Amino acid sequence: MTYPEFPDSENFTTIGDILNGAVDGKSISVRGWIYRTRSSGKLSFVVLRDSTGIIQSIVSSDSVSESSFTASKKALVESSVLVTGIPIKDERAPGGWELKASNFEVLHYADTFPITKDQSDEHLLNNRHLWLRSRDMVSCLKIRSTIFQAFRNYWISLGYSEVQSPSFTTSACEGGSTLFNVSYDDQNEKSGQKFYAHLSQSWQLYAEATMFGLEKIFTVAPSFRAEKSRTRRHLTEFWHAEVEAAWTHNHQMMELEEGMITTILNEVLSNNLSELEHLGRDVSLLQNVKGPFEKMKYSDVIDELNSLGFDLSWGDDFGYKEEKALTSSRTQPLFITHFPKEKGFYHRPDPADPKSLVCHDLLAPEGYGEIIGGGERIWSPEELDTRIREEGMEPSSYGWYMDLRKYGSVPHSGFGLGLDRLTSWICGAEHIKNVIPFPRTMRRTNP
Ligand code: ATP
Ligand code: MN
């Protein structure tokens, strides 16, 4: 197949610029794809899309060459095209503008596109490689990009360094039931020995080691968890934004997180209003999120849930049902503190009430639930030894981690934020799969 000569970039205008009125009345060219098309008699109405928006072009057999007109009638949805014309303001047109074409060129004629209106979620997931062109996906992914960047900028502005930790590891930190084991073949052929590793569930243990040098650190990386329960908020590979800081107590970390969440929301509100509107998001709910966030102790949360008809007692874990009940009628994020100590061996027990921990979760409102888990880490070697034994594990199997408490231990805190969950809440998504390009679950690794 031969393609027409590809013209220089500077000769093109984005559809977004047309919709902003930046090129009013001038002859311009756009390049993009056919979003929708119909023709009647001497007119073709071809809606074009690029990454910045959609606009309808009118191709009239009276104003373009015969080859342009034939191309505009023949080209199917998702054909790639170059269109020249004059943008005309027209309140009735979608977006308020129309492009009166003087030239219509098809770069590549698309086959019949396999996605049409009203298709099942399963069909859209099977065709994710094509569905990524949809305006829904593009809107979510633009918002997601702002969130990732705002997360980084916030911590960098506070003097934190970005660091990476391995994905292959042999130390579990979030419990064995969700570990993905991988066979990790020995490269040394003489020994013939096979090694096993698993995929990281969190960078935390590595973060604690790295922190002693850099003091204030963060990462953005995938974490892997074999999540058996199918919920609207679990992926098997998710994007984990984690922070660790020396000389920092739990309440100080919570304050920083509050600043992070409001900063990220402000960035999305100032960069992505049109995407939020496209998604039908109630923007006022996001605009009204303000610190300080409400804080409740775990035991008070149990009481509130029981008053809502649950039957929970000290030590019970909250699942999606509980968190949904707790947050559905809330419009502000909620911190839960003082979880029972069984929540994690590395969290510091509260000196004033050792059956609970100096830790926190942050729950997003509107029924979304947990987006952050964090807390102060145990920094005394004796206490860590005791806690690991209490959890039925052997301190010696945490060899290098125990080492960290031997050489100048300091108070430190950190947290893990699920970026896909945060994006889900901000977009108002029905399912976490809607906000990541290629979602991974227990049943899907393709495309
Ligand atoms: P949950 O109880 O909802 O499974 P968790 O307590 O296992 O969450 P943490 O271990 O505290 O979660 O992980 C920190 C954050 O990482 C969570 O608050 C959440 O935002 C995110 N996260 C954890 N597991 C997943 C997952 N399977 N998919 C997407 N995000 C996740
Ligand atoms: Mn989990």
User: Which tens digit of pLDDT belongs to each residue from 22-58?
Assistant: 998 899 999 999 999 999 999 999 999 999 999 999 9
Ligand 1 geometric centre to CA of 371 (Å): 7
Q: State residue 172's pLDDT score.
A: 62
Taking residues 363-381, report their average pLDDT: 97
Residue 7 has pLDDT above 80, yes or no: no
Contact 50 CB / ligand 1 (< 6 Å): no
Any idea which architecture 125-435 has in CATH? 2-Layer Sandwich (3.30)
Smallest CA separation from ligand 1 atom 19, residue: 418
| pLDDT tier at 186, thresholds 50, 70, 90 | low
Taking residues 385-391, report their average pLDDT: 92
Q: State residue 170's pLDDT score.
A: 85
The tens digit of pLDDT for each residue in 52-102 reads: 999 999 999 999 999 999 999 999 999 999 999 999 999 998 889 999 999
How high is the mean pLDDT of the chain?
94
Give me the helices (H) in 79-191, please. 121-126, 128-131, 135-157
| pLDDT tier at 11, thresholds 50, 70, 90 | confident
Residue 216 has pLDDT above 60, yes or no: yes
Give Cβ neighbours of residue 278 (< 8 Å, ≥ 6 apart). 135, 136, 139
Q: How far is CA 366 from CA 285, 331, 358, 395, in A?
A: 9, 6, 26, 41
Atom of ligand 1 nearest to the CA of 419: 20
The reported pTM is 0.96
What residue spans define the domains of the chain?
9-108, 125-435
Name the one residue in this structure whose structure tokens are 């108002």: 428
**What tokens does 348 get?**
């510091």
Smallest CA separation from ligand 1 atom 27, residue: 234
Residue 1 has pLDDT above 60, yes or no: no
Ligand 2 geometric centre to CA of 235 (Å): 10
Class of the CATH-defined domain 9-108: mainly beta
| pLDDT tier at 191, thresholds 50, 70, 90 | low
Rounded to the nearest angstrom, the gap between the alpha carbon of residue 2 and the centroid of all alpha carbons in its chain is 39
Contact 322 CB / ligand 1 (< 6 Å): no
Atom of ligand 1 nearest to the CA of 225: 27
Residue 187 has pLDDT above 90, yes or no: no
Q: Is the dihedral of CA 206, 208, 212, 216 positive or negative?
A: positive
